[in-house]
A and B are shown apart, each in its own frame.
Chain A
Amino acid sequence: MVNVTIDGMWKEFSDGTAIGPIDLEVRDGELIVLLGPSGSGKTTTLRMVAGFIRPDRGRLLFDDVNVMHVPPNERKIGMVVQSVALFPNMDVFQNIAFALEVREWPHEKVVRRVEELSDLVGIRNLLHRKITEISGGEGQRVALARALAHGPELLLLDEPLSALDPNLRESLQMEIRRIQKELRVTTIYVTHNQDEAFAIADRIAVLNEGVINQVGTPSDLYDRPLNRFVATFLGRGSILGGEVTSCDDKGFEVSFDGQTMHLPGYQEVGNIIELSVKPEDITVTRFGDDGLEATVESIVSQPGRYRVQLKIGKHSLHTFISANTLPEQFRPGERIRITIDPMEVAILADTSP
């Protein structure tokens, strides 16, 4: 379809809030997820790509053509937004047909195309309902069909599923992914939900405070987060900071708050480094003297497991223990020992906070 290049796109609002500079390459036929917390600039970025917000700086290329001055209605984009925004004065059929009607397609072609799309998104039986007579999930399907009707080269989805309940959301995620792969339409999908991003993305771009922190496949980001933000937001990991005390060909030793830990790889002695540790790579034991000493801060029951908040010196960590473990052994204030799988620890390249 189209290869999208966002190059140094930057926007400052009148109140001083700035988004950007955004640099991102969306490859032909790929589904890229723009992931970030609320207020990080996801919608603004998407609206700049759509052409609703004019960036103060930067370029936007569709297949090497600068579309910065092309109005939104000529950019060959399909879009779905969180509020659905179906046209209230039209029925389902007319909503889906909208993009074709404004392009003055002949009536028979419109009918055929709308039927084809309604089959694709599974709403064939709703075509003549009013939009007030369909459910939220059905509304999202109609919105998707409307966005795809004119065969857009680029599909923009801004939190299309966030208003739906979790089960429906999961099944629609799968469908969006199936349809996107079937049509091979280049897609930017915005969400603040990590699970959704992992479920649907070819690649994820993590956005924080108006800047993209890291772009990569879900496992790239999960296993090798570049900075503290990506590690905590994406892997829900904990951060340990310490000083490299020795290094040889078997690895190096890092110490924090009087305890040391061996890790593979090479680090300059004396370096201050940060490690990202994911909850599933921590093993907790009540006894013995392996690993590190930690204090239990709190323990909270969750479905099928407990979430244990730990403290090593001034560092906080968290992990999960199975519900079969006796939680009384991990009362707050209790001293326990933990081991961390050294192969899974990620060393953050970017240690600026």
Chain B
Amino acid sequence: MRRGGALRSSLMLIPFILLIGFLVYPVAIVLIQGLLQPTGSSFQEVVGSSLTQRIILFTVGQALVSTMVAMVLGVPGAFVLTKLQFRGKNTTRALMTVPFILPPIVVVVGFLEVFGPGGIIDSILMALLGSDTSMFNIATGYIGIILAHAFYNAPLFILMVSASLERLNPDIEEMAQIHGATFTQRLRRIIVPHIRISILAASILTFLFSFMSFPIVLALGEGSFMTIEVQIWNAFRFFDYGEAASLAIIQLLITMTLAYAYIRTGVREREVTGRTSYVRTVNIADLSTPTKILLIVYSSILLILLVGPILAIIRSAVYDPNTHVLTLRGFESLLNPGMDGGLIPMVNSLFYASLATVFSVILGLLLVFSQQSKMRLIPDLTSMVTLLPLGVSAITIAYGLMIAIAVPLGLSTNPWPLIVVAQTLIGVPFSVRAIEITRSKIDPAILEQAESLGASALHRVFFVELPLLAPGILVAGFFSFAMAIGEMSATIFLARPENFTLAIIIYRYLSVRKFVEAGAASLFLVVMCVAAFIIMERISENGYGGTV
């Protein structure tokens, strides 16, 4: 027993050492260099410069607007999903997680295809009005950035707020109604106070997402929109390490504060919400005509925004907007092993993502085990380091890995191991979450049973706990894989040309207007991610897995 305990504690130490070595230490180096020994601009110069102020203002502003838009688009959906009875409701709910696992750069391709110049809507308008010049484009620029952020986060609002609505005992609403409250009074006095916390939590996550968003701003902003994240990358490319580090510090302060606020809301939510009650639903047929029309308009908007870009990727893979012809050139290029071809990036993508998946699942498992530890502080500490990657932007992680590890170790000429490290770190919070969900569903009596039957700690872990956790481990794996294969921010920061992944070459194709090539590579990534999603759903269906 004693030996098992020692083994367990040393196993528990591994993830801490790794996270400290590959995350805390590099970020600390960034901070120290930025503040104490800047090469290039100093912290004061950066903070004082009007450019920085404009960038900060824009970053915060676009994140706020993105949050508002995602909220406005998502909250009604939460009501539809909880209160309305319709066929395919569970499927709809499951599909809401799809955007989340799609690579941002692929979403950019989809957005351009639907909303961009020469895109589907533009083509229809041109055909209708008999015009031969492009007349519609909301994919690029400010609106495009906001909409792409909403693409990711409106579903988040839908899922989080509907989960909260489901916990509102329907009797409570009815008691308000029978005692005289009109619809608006019920909304104001009962429903909004109830879902407030979930809205706040979803808002913080959306703000964080938009605040740290990199590929979307880079690709849809077409170089004319700068967020802190984009500017860190620029500064680094132009060797102004002082500016890069200073911006990273500012960003870190803001994101850490928000991440902390998010954790706090989560705690409070668990305190105030009761059991899940069954919801009383309304049949679509029983709605009034104006409500039905409103519902149709709303679902159409959501459908075009959420499903449109995903489906449009298929068109983008075979239709060349430059020459207006259908072509398989994109796929030829994807299989081309040469300099400009997609084969090497494809192999890179699969290789890095597979390794990152294995590592993040192992780390996730170890973290979940140490979260169960009965030692004081360990569980809290574990939750903290687990969520750390959520509060540190991908660019900052990559930047830290570059200056703290790649440069001293001479890895900068071929830094592929660091790409794997970065992709692993980004996957860890999700794999911990997936495994944790499965673990919480295991009946503790089973484990006690194993213990009382005299199983050693090691035996118990390998023959009892791990098999029970298998579904969670699989979900964690596929989720991490989807996140890793689409990762672009950290990867582009670290990669040399021979390390390019599909996500990176999609971005490069887009910037030289090679749209079909970008489309074909995107289609490949979508297929990988959707396949991962379907497998996760299959595993979760039997009630053991789950991600959100």
Contacts and interface: CB of A to CB of B under 8 A. Distances in A.
On whether the two chains bind one another, the answer is yes
Interface of A: 14, 50-52, 71-75, 77-79, 81, 83, 85-89, 98-99, 101-103, 146-147, 149-150, 156
B168 to A, nearest CB: 9
A86 B177 CA distance: 13
Residue with the highest number of chain B CB atoms closer than 10 Å, among A50, A83, A101, A102: A102
B193 A50 contact: no
B181 A102 contact: yes
A73 B178 contact: yes
A84 to B, nearest CB: 8
A147 B179 contact: yes
A81 B179 CA distance: 13
B372 interface: no
B179 A102 contact: yes
B179 A79 contact: yes
Interface of B: 169, 171-172, 174-182, 185, 189-190, 193-194, 272, 274, 283
Contacts of A98: 176, 179, 181, 189
Given A78-B179, A81-B174, 5 more contacts: A72-B174, A75-B178, A81-B175, A85-B172, A98-B179
Contact of A88 (B180, B181, B182, B272): B272
Interface of A is mostly: loop
B178 A87 contact: no
Contacts of B169: 83, 85
B131 to A, nearest CB: 50
Nearest to A54: B286
Contacts of B178: 50-52, 72-73, 75, 77-79, 156
A85 B177 contact: no
Contacts of A147: 179
A102 B274 CA distance: 25
B171 A81 contact: yes
A231 B523 CA distance: 72
A227 to B, nearest CB: 34
A24 B185 CA distance: 33
23 contacts: A50-B174, A52-B177, A72-B174, A72-B178, A73-B178, A78-B178, A78-B179, A79-B179, A83-B169, A85-B171, A85-B172, A85-B175, A87-B175, A87-B189, A89-B190, A98-B189, A101-B189, A102-B181, A102-B182, A146-B179, A149-B179, A150-B180, A156-B178
A222 B132 CA distance: 88
A50 B178 CA distance: 7
A73 B181 contact: yes
Contact of A87 (B182, B190, B283): B190
Contacts of B181: 73, 98, 102
A88 B177 contact: no
B198 to A, nearest CB: 14
Nearest to A90: B189
Nearest to B175: A85
B529 to A, nearest CB: 38
A150 B176 CA distance: 13
Nearest to A53: B280
A73 B190 contact: no
**Pairs A-B, 3 closest by C-beta atoms:** A85-B171, A99-B179, A89-B193
A87 B172 contact: yes
A15 B397 CA distance: 56
Contacts of A74: 180
B190 A99 contact: no
A50 B274 CA distance: 26
A2 to B, nearest CB: 15
Contacts of A72: 174, 177-178
Contacts of A81: 171, 174-175
Contact of A83 (B171, B180, B190): B171
B182 A73 contact: yes
Contact of A102 (B171, B185, B283): B185
A5 to B, nearest CB: 20
Contacts of A83: 169, 171
A85 B179 CA distance: 12
A102 B190 contact: no
Nearest to B174: A52
Contacts of B272: 88
A14 B285 CA distance: 12
Nearest to B85: A14
B171 A73 contact: no
Contacts of B171: 81, 83, 85
Given A81-B171, A83-B169, A89 B179 contact: no
A85 B194 contact: no
Contacts of A85: 169, 171-172, 174-175
A86 B174 CA distance: 11
B177 A73 contact: yes
